Amino acid sequence: MHSTGTDENNAKGGRLEARISNQQKRLFKRAAELQGSTLTDFVVSTLQAAAARVVQEYEVMTLAGKDREIFVSALLAPSIPKGRLKKAVSRYKKLMD
């Protein structure tokens, strides 16, 4: 879900805790300082960006070359169901009526 910028979406009501090593904390704190932000702001913004990338990787299908052509062709000119698939379509239509 994308943030819409409303007060409700930006309200800070949640809390996140994590155990990290002292070495990790020093690294995160240094990175935050280099960006001119607080450790909390750095961790939250970095985690949010990483989470958005992961969600996009799992929700967006990217096809290249021949795969894209096959997919688009199937959408534009779907094949007519035969055999068991045709029977399944008929059963589905009967159930949904």
Q: What is the pLDDT of residues 21-67, one digit of tens each?
A: 999 999 999 999 999 999 999 999 999 999 999 999 999 988 999 99
Report the distance separating Cα 87 and Cα 93, nearest Å: 10
Total-model pTM: 0.57
Contact assessment for residue 43 and residue 28, using Cβ atoms and an 8 Å cutoff? yes
Which residue in this structure is represented by tokens 């935050």? 32
Q: Are 28 and 39 within 8 A, CB to CB?
A: yes
- The 10s digit of each residue's pLDDT in 68-86 is 999 999 999 988 888 999 8
In this prediction, residues 4-30 reach a mean pLDDT of 83
Count of CB atoms within 10 A of residue 45's CB?
13
Q: What's the first-to-final CA gap in the chain, in angstroms?
A: 33
